[in-house]
Amino acid sequence: MCTRIFWNDNQVAKTVTRCMDWAVSDEPELWFVPRGMSRDGGAEQSPHTWVSSYSSVVLSMWGLGTSDGLNEKGLAAHALYLNPEPGMWAGADTRASVSIALWVQYVLDNFATVAEVVAAIDDVRISSKVLRGQDLGVHIAIEDASGDSAIIEPIGGELVVHHGPEFRVMANSPTMDAQLANLARYKPFGETCHCPATSAHPTALFVPATFCTTFLNPRTCSRLSRACFS
């Protein structure tokens, strides 16, 4: 399952990684998107238009949109799969709309920091769009050069934001609230369950990924790993 990990207390450089565990190839291409480029949100109703303020280097998915990227200000964004649920996306309103396929690119084109993205979270409506015959759910993780981070998820017609440098891990479904509740079942994050070592379920990946980002210090990682997994 797709997982994003942000190592933001690294004294050398802020480092992020994600895996793309998709059932078929996402046919990625590496694109350079210049500043000053006229863009269209690709939505089926009232598409938002803008001119990119920042250049970016991005990975495309199926040639239809952007799944990951980094802009010239050091803001990065990543789209991961979230199970589609009825009513997860806001219905049509007075706002212009950006398709889920262009959500990441919209962020990279227009903002320099995580705080700026969060402040403008309701300026446009993010809308679902059938891509290659699939109705996809999407949530995004963003991080910037300062180490700030946010997870943004469509829940019940609203974009729910978890904002702060502590939100360093995101996986696929379920939502962040459910992932954090599950995390609290495991030691050393709350109760006494042993960390799952092997599983393809996103909740089982979220736990060890969080463990690794919490205890990356090599002096403590081996000792705590034995305590967690044994």
Q: Point out the residues that are catalytic.
A: 2
- Angle formed at CA 203 by CA 201 and CA 205, multiple of 5 degrees: 75
Alpha-carbon distance of 197 to 211, in angstroms, equals 11
Among 204, 229, 208, 93, which Cα is nearest to 158's? 93
Q: Is-contact 99 89, C-beta < 8 A?
A: no
Cis previous bond, 202, omega within 30: no
Q: Which residues contact 8 (CB under 8 A, 6 or more apart)?
A: 14, 143, 147, 148, 149, 165, 168
Alpha-carbon distance of 209 to 80, in angstroms, equals 15
Number of H helices, E strands in the chain: 5, 16
Among 164, 206, 202, 174, which Cα is nearest to 189's? 206
